[in-house]
Chain A
């Protein structure tokens, strides 16, 4: 067996397991946890396009989640438009907003960029909280919007059980991972990497760093907004503090940073490690030890930044390659 075959077959195995899980796992609680895990892996992978590849630290991505969630929900509630279509509209809207925000902010240096994105996210939240009617659209201010579970079915992206949600978010996650993979192998990916690490050097070689970052930002905000629609349809209730919160923006960034930003496996790894810790400590210690999972998050974050600044994917990849070498030694002379 060659190395490539082994890698492909292990991927296929992971695929079979993830797609087959709902057949074995009948508990709605565990499915719920898994759905949120995939959702966060998806959000973090989308964030990674800007936060990882472009080498800046955006801390306001919840605003795009909010744009996606609100756009599709309003279109559905007021005009009866299918959330699938609303999802695309929300994504396009988010991409436009992302470009508008990116134009001035990408000129800023590290800390200023982070602060600007925080202010942008919080500004959007405050505005949504204060606006009941934006023109003809009913935002309902701080009370949020509720979707009545009436016309259940695929066309309305609404289901009574969890399995369909599981498969939808899984497909979305696989798609975004494939997209990230192809971007990282494309010209854009290399340009972004170069611009993130050494902007002056990249520019002197004729790379239009600003343009690449804007493209990445547009894609990232588009993809993030799609997850917003999914979240709205999954919980059927959105309000500014849930979909546009600073905590959400930070959690996305945390997962990416702990997993390893700028890598493809990092965000998934981060979500895989952190989400269950959060969920289970909330289930078992939520009443007696409130905030325990956030203490764990913070501690892990500090330790990872001190000892593995490139995230946990780096040592794990090394272990993985060592394992591969052990299993299938590279024949002499081929390297």
Chain B
């Protein structure tokens, strides 16, 4: 019994980190109405930036947030500005442009393989890691400390993005654009600047997820693919465009993955996740929690 509780807690912690990795996906979809297939690669880039920042400076891993967040924000901002914006301009009247999906897939291939070319296929992990293997003992339960921090990071990040969208002027402009981009443009909101900002924020959250993963996860060029597919599943489960839904969807996946092996071979849990995903897509495409657009 205690094992199931332990698995449940670890599943919730890891799941919230999954949710954090998928947060940017849902933010970008909410505004641009585009599924960013390159999101996993952006996460991978964030992990590499964090890895090198820690390795070269010897700082505490979490201190690299100060570097990773602005770097990733600018990266996302200009990625959208230079690569994706031209497509939007060409397909102005299409509500969910399929071409953009294809372009982001191209960006995914470029980023992953450029990383492979530059840094090689090695699995890297931080040396002198103050968090490696750190466990919190509660009774007989062992809880991973870096995952616990990851949980807090997910909650805080989701909360602050939500607060930002609700309370600030820019946030209101983003919400207006996501609801009706033509009407928002008529109100004097610069549509493409909002897209850039939303893409930047989405990429920055991928950077935060990267920083929380680096202390206990290996860094390698295709690490993003693992989170990419998982991210798609999470955001659809939670409802595309919903911030809280992304975290909850992540927790569902995390719990299935950690509690499932108690009842079946571990690799089968993956099949269950895909099955659940297809079921939700067919039966309730707006997501499990029925939130169409939260903001």
Interface residues of A (CB under 8 A from B): 57, 104-105, 108-112, 114-116, 118-120, 122-123, 126-127, 129-130, 246, 250, 253-254, 257, 289-292, 294-295, 297-299, 301-302, 305-306, 309
Contacts and interface: CB of A to CB of B under 8 A. Distances in A.
B75 interface: no
Q: Closest 6 CB pairs between A and B?
A: A291-B113, A298-B109, A123-B274, A301-B106, A298-B110, A302-B106
Contacts of A110: 96-98, 101
A302 B107 contact: yes
Interface stretch (B54-62, B82-90, B159-167): B82-90
16 contacts: A110-B101, A111-B98, A116-B282, A126-B271, A246-B225, A290-B116, A291-B114, A291-B221, A292-B113, A294-B113, A298-B105, A298-B107, A298-B109, A301-B105, A302-B106, A306-B103
B117 A298 contact: no
A254 B229 CA distance: 18
A129 B266 CA distance: 12
Most A CB within 10 A of own CB, among B105, B275, B277, B285: B105
Contacts of A292: 113, 117
B98 A57 contact: yes
Most A CB within 10 A of own CB, among B83, B117, B225: B117
Nearest to A112: B285
A116 B281 contact: yes
Name the interface size band of chain B: 35 or more
A253 B106 CA distance: 11
Contact of A120 (B101, B232, B278): B278
Nearest to A55: B98
A108 B280 CA distance: 12
A257 B103 CA distance: 11
Given A104-B282, A291-B117, A305-B87, A257 B102 contact: yes
Nearest to B233: A119
Contacts of A114: 35, 98, 101
Interface of B: 29, 34-35, 83, 86-87, 90-91, 96-99, 101-103, 105-110, 112-114, 116-117, 120-121, 221, 225, 229, 232-233, 236, 265, 267-268, 270-271, 274-275, 277-278, 281-282, 285
Contacts of B267: 126, 129-130
Nearest to B35: A111
Give the interface SS of chain B, mostly helix, strand, loop or mixed: helix
Contact of A116 (B87, B229, B271, B278): B278
Contact of B232 (A105, A115, A123, A291): A115
B271 A112 contact: no
A299 B98 CA distance: 18
B116 A306 contact: no
Contact of A297 (B109, B277, B282): B109
Contact of A295 (B110, B121, B233): B110
A202 to B, nearest CB: 17
Given A123-B275, A126-B270, A298-B110, 4 more contacts: A105-B282, A130-B267, A295-B109, A298-B113
A119 B285 CA distance: 14
B82 to A, nearest CB: 10
Contacts of B281: 104-105, 108, 112, 115-116, 119
Contacts of A120: 278
B278 A305 contact: no
Contacts of B108: 298
Most A CB within 10 A of own CB, among B90, B109, B121: B109
Contacts of B233: 119
B102 to A, nearest CB: 5
A290 B97 CA distance: 32
B258 to A, nearest CB: 18
Given A108-B285, A122-B274, A130-B265, A305 B103 contact: yes
A105 B281 CA distance: 8
B241 to A, nearest CB: 12
B103 A302 contact: yes
A237 to B, nearest CB: 22
A115 B287 CA distance: 14
Contacts of A119: 229, 232-233, 274, 277-278, 281
A195 B16 CA distance: 41
A239 to B, nearest CB: 15
A278 to B, nearest CB: 12
